[in-house]
């Protein structure tokens, strides 16, 4: 039999909400960037490329949060959500001080105003969740104890 400590945790509460919001943004950003790139890429290539980048970030962040029980995915979640935060703050600031760079809005323009500022708030919540929910790990002594009990 396996130890209950070695089972992955099920995500509950705010973790589920976070994953759902990330998944919705992933779908929204993917659809938006696909349409923009297919229909009028030459009009605003930087803005549309950044929308595609944000879509990839949201897809990876969604997967990383779902599988954050493993150390590798937990690390990927940290990297992805930190990148998202830097992206939102950078693009948000640039869209305010250099609007000519973005003739069309990106997901992160004006700190996500087109998405009710969710792109601005979400990485802070994601990083908070990662800090408060580190992956569970079993030490070698716990593994040995579990094997002894199973025999």
Q: Domains of the chain: which residue ranges?
A: 13-134
State the Cα–Cα distance between residues 145 and 125, nearest whole angstrom.
36
- The string of pLDDT tens digits covering residues 32-70 is 999 999 999 999 999 999 999 999 999 999 999 999 889
State the Cα–Cα distance between residues 111 and 88, nearest whole angstrom.
6
Strands in the chain per DSSP E = none
pLDDT for position 36: 94
pTM for the whole structure: 0.82
Q: What percent of the chain clears pLDDT 90, i.e. is strictly above it?
A: 77
Q: Is the Cα torsion angle 24, 92, 55, 126 positive or negative in sign?
A: negative
Instruction: Name residues whose C-beta falls within 8 Å of residue 79's C-beta, 6 or more positions apart in sequence.
Output: none
Are 123 and 107 in contact, with CB atoms under 8 Å apart? Answer: no
Burial of 79-115, coded b for 16+ CB within 10 Å and e otherwise, reads: ebbebbbebbeebbebbeeeeeebeebbbbbbbbebb
pLDDT for position 151: 52
State the Cα–Cα distance between residues 112 and 87, nearest whole angstrom.
11
- The string of pLDDT tens digits covering residues 73-84 is 999 999 999 999
Question: Among 10-24, 50-64, 132-146, which is the least confidently predicted range?
Answer: 132-146
């Amino acid at each position: 039999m396996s130890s209950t400590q070695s089972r992955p945790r099920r995500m509950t509460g705010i973790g589920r909400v976070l994953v759902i919001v990330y998944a919705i943004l992933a779908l929204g950003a993917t659809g938006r960037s696909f349409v923009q790139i297919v229909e009028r890429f030459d009009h605003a290539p930087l803005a549309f490329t950044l929308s595609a980048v944000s879509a990839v970030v949201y897809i990876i962040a969604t997967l990383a949060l779902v599988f954050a029980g493993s150390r590798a995915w937990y690390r990927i979640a940290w990297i992805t959500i930190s990148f998202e935060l830097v992206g939102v703050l950078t693009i948000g600031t640039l869209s305010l001080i250099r609007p000519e760079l973005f003739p069309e809005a990106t997901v992160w323009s004006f700190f996500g105003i087109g998405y009710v500022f969710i792109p601005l708030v979400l990485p802070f919540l994601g990083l908070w969740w990662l800090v408060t929910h580190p992956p569970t790990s079993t030490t070698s002594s716990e593994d040995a104890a579990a094997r002894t009990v199973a025999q």
